[in-house]
């Protein structure tokens, strides 16, 4: 019997949040197609994650905890997904459009010559079971509707925060099937030498709240130490660390940045929001000292509430904002941090 598959992503033996959103989409599709929803969980802790997947709506799970899958690599993950698709011909495979989801799904769709639509924000299924999806194009400046044209397994990656996860049903369980890996270690040419974990503050795609800094971060009133290589860069870096970060910590937010701030060397590229950076869709986006160039807007315009804090009342960012404060971010942000701590405690 055919099914809808959801590829659940794990990190250090735990499910990644965006996967539960994918299971939400999978549940809806499986119901519409009258087939079971099967979670695929590969790697360390697969069984425990499959049990959580059941609570998010999967009635079956296929797991593989083989040592070759312990540390994520494209080759063994894609080979196993391809084998499962070839053996079982599911109606659709859904995965979050994370770094990993994007490449595993595209690779397996290529292996099986299957249709794939990536970065999906909306999904409809027609009477014959073919999917049509809404997705961004031209760096998010326009949208497109893309339709699957052929029969066979349909590969879909969904954009983070575009769909809601189902509520957790603590009593639900899944029928779990364990399968063998598709590739032996000596058939895998890529080898992971090391992994350096970065503290959670960079995962912008999943963040419910983001506070971003721009060029205006250079207006830090603090004096740079005499031995600073570049006073402007030092001021801006200090501003991200001692002005934005405390607000982010108080709100449980991620720290973002404009391209101008990244290019000026104020903060690493991993924080960049906008074209040539990340596209984000938080509930709350606070833009501090960001003018709001069209490239930046493309990356954050689907945020629910945008707050602009900028000295320049003419800055384009105010045209997108729900709330604006014309003022010095180095005065407003610390005051906001104190107020948040006072009222929300922590």
Distance in Å, CB of 304 to another protein, minimum: 6
Tell me whether residue 21 or residue 119 sits nearer to another protein (CB atom).
119
Tell me whether residue 38 or residue 303 sits nearer to another protein (CB atom).
303
Tell me whether residue 172 or residue 326 sits nearer to another protein (CB atom).
326
Distance in Å, CB of 60 to another protein, minimum: 26
Tell me whether residue 35 or residue 209 sits nearer to another protein (CB atom).
209
Tell me whether residue 163 or residue 176 sits nearer to another protein (CB atom).
163
Distance in Å, CB of 227 to another protein, minimum: 25
For 46, half-sphere exposure in the C-beta direction (CA atoms, 13 angstrom radius) is 24
Distance in Å, CB of 64 to another protein, minimum: 20
Contact 23, 37 (CB under 8 A): yes
Please give the full DSSP string across 50-106, using - where no structure is assigned. HHHHHHTT-SEEEEE--GGGSS--HHHHHHHHHHHHHHH--SEEEEE-SHHHHHHHH
Residue among 242, 214, 238, 233 nearest 299 (CA): 214
> Bridge-partner residues for 40, per DSSP?
7, 62
Distance in Å, CB of 62 to another protein, minimum: 22
How far, in Å, are 160, 217, 287, 296, 326 from residue 307 at the CA level?
21, 16, 6, 14, 11
Tell me whether residue 169 or residue 331 sits nearer to another protein (CB atom).
331
Distance in Å, CB of 10 to another protein, minimum: 11
* Chain centre to alpha carbon of residue 15: 13
Nearest-10 crossing angle of helices 99-111, 74-88: 50
Residue among 259, 32, 17, 59 nearest 129 (CA): 32
């Amino acid at each position: 019997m055919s099914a809808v598959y959801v590829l659940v992503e794990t990190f250090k033996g735990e499910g990644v949040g965006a996967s539960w959103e994918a299971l939400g989409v999978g549940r809806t599709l499986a119901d519409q197609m009258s087939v079971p929803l099967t979670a695929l969980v590969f790697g360390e802790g697969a069984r425990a994650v499959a049990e959580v997947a059941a609570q998010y709506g999967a009635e079956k799970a296929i797991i593989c905890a083989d040592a070759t899958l312990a540390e994520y690599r494209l080759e063994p993950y894609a080979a196993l997904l391809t084998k499962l698709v070839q053996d079982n011909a599911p109606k659709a495979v859904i995965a979050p459009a994370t770094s990993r989801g994007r490449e595993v799904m595209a690779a397996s769709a290529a292996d099986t010559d299957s249709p794939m639509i990536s970065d999906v924000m909306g999904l409809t299924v027609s009477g014959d079971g073919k999917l049509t999806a809404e997705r961004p194009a031209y760096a998010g400046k326009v949208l497109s509707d893309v339709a699957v044209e052929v029969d066979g397994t349909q590969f879909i990656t969904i954009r983070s925060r575009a769909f809601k996860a189902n509520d957790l049903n603590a009593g639900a369980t899944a029928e779990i099937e364990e399968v063998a890996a598709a590739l032996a270690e000596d058939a895998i040419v890529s080898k992971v030498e090391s992994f350096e974990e970065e503290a959670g503050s960079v995962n912008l795609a999943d963040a419910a709240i983001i506070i971003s800094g721009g060029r205006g971060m250079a207006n830090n009133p603090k004096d740079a130490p005499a031995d600073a290589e570049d006073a402007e860069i030092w001021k801006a870096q200090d501003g991200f660390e001692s002005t934005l970060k405390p607000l982010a910590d108080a709100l449980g937010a991620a720290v973002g940045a404009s391209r101008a701030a990244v290019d000026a060397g104020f903060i690493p590229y991993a924080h960049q929001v906008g074209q040539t950076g990340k596209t984000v869709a938080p509930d709350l986006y606070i833009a501090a000292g960001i003018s709001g160039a069209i490239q930046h807007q493309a990356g954050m315009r689907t945020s629910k509430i945008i707050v602009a804090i900028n000295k320049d009342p003419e800055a384009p960012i105010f045209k997108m904002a729900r709330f604006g404060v014309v003022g010095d971010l180095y005065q407003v942000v610390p005051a906001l941090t104190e107020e948040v701590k006072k009222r929300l405690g922590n």
